[in-house]
Structure 1
Amino acid sequence: MNVNDLKIVLKVAEQKSIKQAAESMDLLVATASAAVKRVETSLGVTLFQRSTRKLKITSAGEQALSQLAQAVALLNQVEQQSKHMLGTIEGEIRLSAPSDLGRNILLEWLDAFMDSYSKVSLKLHVSDSNVDFYRAPLDVALRYIPYNNESVYGFKICDVPRVVCASPAYLAQCGRPEHPSDLTSHNSLLYELKGTLHHAWTFTRNGEKFPVRVGGNRAANDADLVRRWCVSGKGIAMKSALDMSTDLLSGRVVPILQEFTAPPTELWLICPSRQLITPAIRKLREHLTQHCQHLLDSMRVQGLIR
């Protein structure tokens, strides 16, 4: 099978349309259609169920396409590694990033990375949802995961403290909580993912746990909105220190309950498999690790995090 034919088939699966796939790849519709037929003939299966109005992936196609995607990615990796031996870092990186970190911190870092490696191109997908690498057109995903989670594969970027914080204006109006139990009388800004409201906050001090169920009048499935509400004085938030770093360093928000420790998290660059890691992705990992560590060190120097 021709590699270019495989790439066309994968684009058709992504777009759910031969016409749209052809347009996105600057091809004639007839050329894309012929490529699909050649691959189907070679595999001996029908990948797509066609009608005049829509195109649907068949059950056999679902299985075949996931394997074809891995095969194409592996071929791309071999190509990238060959170029890496010649000192060249290039190719496309399809990256998913969390909403808050992606919009407010990561963009500047990615711009600097691409300035350093001008032959690298980027497709950025911003979302807090879990990633399905076999359905989504992604190579890697930057995600916060629970501390010491052994079920993921990829590169750990850094440990990330969580901070409980509020704006000076909110604290001036509503008072500063001195103990986790005080949070029950405050307006907490809550994060919701897949219908689950994260309103059970846990703290520790000297080995003792202090669980508290918080409440408030605002919740969102977008972590960036929670941060914005916090900065604008709407309540108290528990967030990743990286997400809040710019606001903490500028004084727009201040940390509270620093005698207590909220559960930390870890930032990982998650990959579907070792075989799909390209030299460009390895360089990106180094770049992100350096910037995250610098930002965390800056907050520690100012006493904003431990």
Structure 2
Amino acid sequence: MLRFDDLQLFVRAADLGSLSAAARVMDMSAAVASAALKRIEQQLGVRLLARSTRSLRLTAEGEGFLQYARGALSQLDEGRRLLASGQDHVSGVLQLSAPSDFGRNLLLPWLDEFQREHPQLNVRLLLGDRIADLFRQPVDIALRYGEPEDSSLVALPVAPDNRRVLCAAPSYLARHGEPRHLEELAQHNCLLFMLGSRVHDHWSFQDAKREISLTVSGDRFSDDADVVRRWAVAGVGIAYKSWLDVSADVLAGRLQLLLPELLGERTPLNLLCAHRAQLSKPINLLREMLVARCGKLSAQLPERRGTTQ
């Protein structure tokens, strides 16, 4: 296969009428230039330049090949300009995966706005709480809660300070009372999330002095985090959810935070991709928007009022 720099050298030498002059322009030694010309002539099986100690001229074969070499270099340059132009404009297809609750209730309206700003961009969105296989599934990036288990993935923080919060609907609390101590959760219906075959019924919290964990139970669980949130809003139990997922419900009064003196588990939101080369301009712009929007929501999480005794 002919090398790009070998073709460049041949065209430059033909234009300048000197191999040494072409070598100087391309910042290479005369020996390297001579080896490059020899390599391309061996690959083509013909002599392209007739050389003496003082002159250089194209052979008949060289004159015939020169126009094709110029055309090939011109097409390669055009391809590079096209790629550079694509990097300057937000266009093409953006394929991403996101958690069900975050995707439906926050990401969807944000993506609508993002596409209005960049109308040449197409979006393919996969929603689900299972970890996307970025090497097999048709996605470029994935938004996921928690620290990535696969260390080979590139993980960029979106909401590094996000945490879980304990919450319930006012209607549920009116019927069953508001728990004042963590141990009282044993007397309540806790809404559980299931990922794979594992039910997340072990809830951890932190007060000013120590970490506290307990096992909870309830009459329903789902592998869709959005279903758990909907159950909580419907008033059927207590949920332990990502603040990002329930922030709109809390701020609107549909859900109420419980035991706010406790600090919930960290559940950072990260943007994952298989390679840094996938971080195109659309992806970087999308991440900037997500960081700003999630940061605004995180700032609205009420501060803890105190510590447990």
Task: Determine if the TM-score, normalized by the shorter chain, exceeds 0.5.
Answer: yes
Q: 5 Å matches for 1:68-107? A: 82-83=84-85, 87-107=88-108
1:133 matched residue in structure 2: 134
Residue of structure 2 equivalent to 1:218: 220
Instruction: Give the equivalent residue in structure 1 for 2:188.
Output: 186
- The answer to whether the Cα contact below 8 Å between 1:248 and 1:304 also exists between their aligned partners in 2 is no
Write the distance in 2 (CA, Å) between the matches of 1:162 and 1:195.
21
The answer on whether the counterparts of 2:166 and 2:259 sit within 8 Å (CA) in structure 1 is yes
Deviation of residue 131 (structure 1)?
1.1
* Partner residue of 1:197 out of 196, 199, 205: 199
Cα distance in 2 between the residues matched to 1:239 and 1:230: 10
- The 3-state SS of whatever aligns with 1:165 is strand
Q: For residues 120 and 170 of structure 2, what CA distance do their matches in structure 1 show? A: 45
In structure 2, stretches of 5+ residues that fail to align are: 1-79
Structure 1 residue 295 displacement after superposition: 1.8
RMSD: 2.3
Q: Deviations over 1:224-272 (max 9, x none)?
A: 0000000000000000001001100100000001111111111011011
Match of 1:39 in 2: none
**Unpaired segments ≥5 residues, structure 1:** 1-77
Q: Could you say which residue in structure 2 is the equivalent of 1:124?
A: 125
Counterpart position of 2:34:
none
In the other structure, the counterpart of 2:110 is 109
Letter in 1 for 2:184: D
- Aligned 8 A contact 1:189 1:218 in 2: yes
User: What are the within-5 Å matches in structure 2 for residues 149-164 of structure 1?
Assistant: 152-158=153-159, 159-164=161-166
Structure 2 CA distance, aligned partners of 1:223 and 1:94?
Answer: 21
Q: Residues 199-233 of structure 1: CA distance to partner in whole angstroms, max 9, x if unpaired?
A: 00111111312211100001000000000000000
User: Size of the alignment, in residue pairs?
Assistant: 226
Secondary structure of residue in 1 paired with 2:244: coil
8 Å contact 1:99–1:126 — kept in the other structure?
yes
Secondary structure of the 2:241 match is: strand
Number of the residue aligned with 1:145: 146
Matches of 1:201 and 1:288 in 2, distance apart?
27
Matches within 5 A, 1:45-64: none
Q: Separation in 2 of the partners of 1:203 and 1:168?
A: 22
Q: Which amino acid aligns with 2:294?
A: C
What do the CA deviations read for 1:133-178 (whole angstroms, capped 9, x no partner)? 1221110001101499976413210121211000011111111111
Percent sequence identity over aligned pairs: 38
Cα distance in structure 2, aligned partners of 1:80 and 1:267:
34
Q: Determine the C-alpha separation between the residues in 2 that align with 1:281 and 1:189.
A: 34
Separation in 1 of the partners of 2:301 and 2:148?
Answer: 20
Q: Is the 8 A contact 1:81 1:279 kept in 2?
A: no
For 1:36, the equivalent position in structure 2 comes to: none
- Among residues 171, 174, 196, which one is paired with 1:172 in the alignment? 174
Aligned residue type for 1:229: W
Cα deviation 1:41-68 (Å, max 9, x = unaligned): xxxxxxxxxxxxxxxxxxxxxxxxxxxx
SS in 1 for 2:122: strand
Equivalent-residue separation in structure 2 for 1:238 and 1:94 (angstroms): 30
Task: Note closer, same or farther for the CA distance 1:304–1:296 as it changes in structure 2 (3 Å cut).
Answer: farther
Aligned equivalents of 2:150 and 2:240: distance in 1?
A: 20
The equivalent residue for 1:251 is 253
Supply the AA of the counterpart residue of 1:213.
T
Q: Aligned to 1:278, which of 266, 277, 280?
A: 280
Q: Name the CA distance, whole Å, in 2 between partners of 1:115 and 1:283.
A: 14
Paired with 1:185 and 1:83, the residues of 2 have a C-alpha distance of 62
C-alpha contact 1:184 1:214 (8 A) present in aligned 2: yes
1-structure distance, mates of 2:296, 2:208: 28
Q: After the TM superposition, which segments of 4 or more aligned residues of structure 1 sit over 6 Å from their partners?
A: 147-151
SS of aligned partner of 2:261:
coil
Local SS of the residue matching 1:122: strand
Between Structure 1 and Structure 2, whose CA radius of gyration is higher?
Answer: 2
Q: What amino acid is the match of 2:139?
A: L
Structure 1 position 123, deviation (Å): 0.2
Change (3 A) 1:81 1:109: farther
- In the alignment, residue 130 of structure 1 is paired with which amino acid? I
* Counterpart-to-counterpart distance in 2, 1:136 and 1:185: 43
